[in-house]
Structure 1
Amino acid sequence: EGKYLERHLQYNYTHDEKGRVSAKEILKWNQDNSRFEKLYCLNFSYTDNEVNVEYVAWNSKAGDYTNVKAKAVYQMNENGMNYMAYNWNEKDNSWNLVTEHNATNWNSALLANR
């Protein structure tokens, strides 16, 4: 025991026509039945200046990834990148902004030169 790698998680990737990741499926090892079971999926969508990552949990009753939980949006602009994280509000049937971060191009943001 402890000398060998043990099964824990399995990752399955799907790519779009441009070779970018469009989905990352995460499965967790179930020791009781010795099988990997679906856990959640990250769905990626792309525009010219934006990447959306949606977190969808596995719904065993529906047999599909239908339980949308959260998403992250990465927006590129002339100053760097903006990151926004959202949680799904089932009661209001809408996205709630949880956090937002701006990352600037640090080369042009320096206050002093050497």
Structure 2
Amino acid sequence: MKTTNLFKAVAFVAMIIVSIMNSEVKAQDRFITNEEVQNDLIVAKTIFRQSGTYLYNHMRYEFTYDDENRLTNKTASKWDSVKEKWMPYFRMSYQYADNEITLSYARWNEKHQSYDKDVRKSVYEMNAENMPVAYKSNRIYHTVNLLTMAE
């Protein structure tokens, strides 16, 4: 009897977890992406939220590259439906040096009209294949999980 109740409880919890995971996947399906490409590089990406048969602006990303086709800036904007325009959100800048890449992140500061809010900076050491292998912070090295770096 106790085994049957335990089995029912475990099955019930499993069904709830699957239901929650399924709803999260469905929520992601309500977004449509449009990429703008120039010279085989993505220069902009607009994310639309789908509601029924209508699409609504949600997020917009703009990308810039250097002469070697390396990403130098990623700028994000969020759609303001009241003002009916894209509003700056954050910017990520990438600087390349000898076997290092410096990543800078800053949020838009409405008061200053610049990207100077919540500024963060990370430095990554690159290997011979030009892949990040270590995170450098105040001369402390941390192993990088390459799977979490993909967008």
| TM-score interval, smaller chain | 0.5 to 0.7
- Which structure has more RCO (C-alpha within 8 Å, separation ≥ 6)? 1
Matched, 1:60 2:110: yes
TM-score, normalization: structure 1?
0.65
- The residue number in structure 2 matching 1:81 is 133
Counterparts of 2:88 and 2:142 in 1: how far apart (Å)?
31
Aligned residues: 92
Structure 1 stretches of 4+ moved >6 Å: none
Q: Which runs of 5+ in 2 are unaligned?
A: 1-50, 146-151
Q: Please say if residues 22 and 44 of structure 1, whose CA atoms lie closer than 8 Å, have aligned partners that are also in contact.
A: yes
Once the two structures are aligned, what percentage of the paired residues are identical? 30
Please state which structure has a larger fraction of its residues in helix. 2
Counterparts of 1:68 and 1:50 in 2: how far apart (Å)?
23
Please state which structure has a larger fraction of its residues in strand. 1
Q: Please say if residues 13 and 24 of structure 1, whose CA atoms lie closer than 8 Å, have aligned partners that are also in contact.
A: yes
Counterparts of 1:55 and 1:25 in 2: how far apart (Å)?
10
TM-score, normalization: structure 2?
0.51
Over aligned residues, Cα RMSD in angstroms? 2.8
Report which of the two structures shows the higher radius of gyration computed on alpha carbons.
2
Q: Please say if residues 13 and 23 of structure 1, whose CA atoms lie closer than 8 Å, have aligned partners that are also in contact.
A: yes
